[in-house]
């Protein structure tokens, strides 16, 4: 499992759109689900993506969670499910690659 936290200068809903634009270039990628909740304190946007990785012979998922409760958009990226076998969950770098795809989509908007 690969996890990364970022701060970006775009709204939570736009985070999901930017990540999908980047991931959609892959033949086997899918946007499985999204959930958006707007409150007085800010917005929560969650997206669930899936992509098949030949190197691991499995599908990996990427969960993107973006919130802007303090005026800055915080993004949490978590990839998983790309491993082989019951005991060992070695994914041949599929999770890291999936997180990097999302990070690349947001790179020009990153803060700090």
For residue 81, the domain's CATH number is 3.30.310
Instruction: Point out the least confidently predicted range of 12-26, 35-49, 60-74, 75-89.
Output: 75-89
Q: Alpha-carbon distance 43 to 85, whole Å? A: 38
Q: Which two tokens stand for residue 78?
A: 């978590």
- Per the structure, the complete domain to which residue 46 belongs is given by 2-109
Q: pLDDT value at position 21?
A: 93
Render pLDDT for 28-70 as a digit per residue (tens, 0 to 9).
889 999 999 999 999 999 999 998 876 656 778 899 999 999 9
Report the domain count for the chain: 1
Q: Which helix (H) or strand (E) holds 17?
A: helix 12-23
* Strand order through the sheet with 2-8: 2-8, 73-80, 58-67, 43-53, 29-38
* Pairing label, strands 2-8, 29-38: unpaired
- What Å distances lie between residue 18 and 39, 42, 83, 88, CA to CA? 22, 19, 26, 33
pTM for the predicted model, two decimal places: 0.86
Q: Alpha-carbon distance 29 to 27, whole Å? A: 6
Q: Which residue has the higher pLDDT, 27 or 19?
A: 19
Closest residue by Cα to residue 103 from 78, 67, 71:
78
Q: Which residue has the higher pLDDT, 79 or 92?
A: 79
């Amino acid at each position: 499992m690969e996890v990364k936290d970022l701060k970006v200068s775009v709204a939570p809903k736009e985070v999901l759109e930017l990540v999908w634009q980047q991931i959609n270039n892959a033949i086997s990628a899918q946007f499985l689900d999204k959930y958006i909740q707007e409150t007085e304190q800010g917005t929560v946007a969650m997206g669930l993506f899936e992509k098949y990785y030949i190197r691991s012979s499995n599908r990996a998922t990427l969960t993107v969670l973006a919130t802007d409760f303090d005026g800055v958009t915080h993004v949490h990226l978590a990839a998983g499910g790309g491993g082989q076998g019951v005991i060992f969950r070695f994914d041949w770098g599929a999770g890291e690659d999936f997180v990097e795809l999302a990070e690349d989509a947001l790179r020009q908007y990153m803060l700090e």
